[in-house]
Amino acid sequence: MNAADNAIELENVSVRYRAAKIHSFKAALVSGFAAHRKSEFRYGLRDVTLAIPHGEAVGIIGPNGAGKSTLLRVAAGIIPPSLGTALSRGTVAPVMELGTGFEAELSGRENIFFNGALLGCSRAYMRARADDIIAFSGIAASIDAPLRTYSTGMVARLAFAVATAIEADTILLDEILAVGDASFRRQCQARIERFVTNGATVVVVSHELDVVASLCSRVIWVEEARVVADGPAADVIARYRARTASGL
């Protein structure tokens, strides 16, 4: 496969954060904290190499704190790698933790244009899609109220509706299917399936393994900042379930 066929490429990517550790509180009191403060690195990702072709639906699974969201943020260009290289081709629409790319004091309607601008879309482009976004989100009655008055589910609806309205080449979804009611989740799944059918790339981070299995042909299992498995969805999910059931 030609590299240009890939929507996302990560090569030997590590994301690390500097963390200071005090080894002896007593010694620190005697000699001063600076003398006993040792700089160490904490890894969000460690030596990750992967490629996701255009038009593929990929799930990312793993325990809390494993590095799943960090991987998605690197793919979105939100977090730069500390080491290695990351490349995304085409337009990318990320739906990360709730509220990212939105402004609490703006109304839902104003946030459609605000978030669209962050995704590189003109006001005219978003205006042509605003009615559909509002209809899909199901929050028309509150669309002119400040975002800070919205519930978690309402923000999720709006974020997903905006991200999937701009016809991006790649959509990155971080736990978006964990919020909202069953009807909204079904709407989301149907729209994701349509995007994949139309050739878009979709990457989904989720703890909902059955949802991942139904949406994705491939699953990447991340644990302790590393990719521990990458393959057909059914195989990787079965291995992950066996591992979590064993308590290891």
Cβ proximity of 226 and 48 under 8 Å: yes
Q: pLDDT tens digits, residue range 217-246?
A: 999 999 999 999 999 999 999 999 999 888
Q: What is the pLDDT of residue 29?
A: 61
| Model pLDDT, residue 212 | 92
Of the candidates 214, 139, 207, 221, the residue with the CA atom closest to the CA atom of residue 178: 207
Please, what is the average pLDDT of the chain? 88
Distant-in-sequence, close-in-space partners of 54: CB < 8 Å, separation ≥ 6? 5, 6, 7, 89, 90, 169, 199, 201
What average pLDDT does range 126-141 have in this prediction?
96
Rounded distance, CA 197 to CA 205, Å? Answer: 19
**Quick one: angle between helices 152-163 and 123-137, nearest 10?**
130
Return left, alpha or beta for 62; rule: phi > 0 is left, psi -120 to 50 is alpha, else beta: left
Reduced to 3 states, what is the DSSP secondary structure of residue 79? coil
Task: Kindly give the pairing relationship between strand 218-223 and strand 57-61.
Answer: parallel
CB-based contact 230:236 (threshold 8 Å): yes
Structural contact between residues 50 and 85, judged by C-beta atoms closer than 8 angstroms: no
pLDDT at residue number 218? 98
Give the pLDDT confidence of 52-111 residue by residue, as tens digits.
Answer: 999 999 999 999 999 999 999 999 999 999 999 999 999 898 887 666 789 999 999 999
83-88 and 57-61: which strand pairing? unpaired
pLDDT of residue 1: 60
Average pLDDT over residues 186-190: 85
The yes-or-no verdict on residue 36 having pLDDT over 60 is no
Instruction: Lowest mean pLDDT of 47-56, 109-118, 137-146, 154-163, name the range.
Output: 154-163
Could you say which DSSP state residue 143 is in? T
Measured CA to CA, the distance from residue 241 to residue 83 in angstroms comes to 31
Q: Is the four-CA dihedral 226, 231, 232, 235 of positive or negative sign?
A: negative
Sign of the dihedral through C-alpha 165, 166, 168, 172: negative
Question: Cα 112–7–225 angle (5° rounding)?
Answer: 90
Percent composition of the chain: helix, strand, coil (DSSP 3-state, to 5) = 45, 30, 25
Q: Give residue 132's pLDDT.
A: 96
What Cα–Cα distance (Å) separates residue 139 from each residue in 109, 151, 179, 200, 219? 10, 11, 15, 26, 32
What are the backbone dihedrals phi and psi of residue 114, each rounded to the nearest 5 degrees, phi first? -65, -50
Give the distance between the most distant pair of CA atoms in the chain. Answer: 66
Pairing mode of beta strands 6-22, 83-88 = antiparallel
pLDDT of 158: 92
Answer CATH for 54-246 from 3.40.50.300, 2.40.160.40, 3.90.950.10, 3.20.20.70? 3.40.50.300
Give domain limits for the chain.
54-246
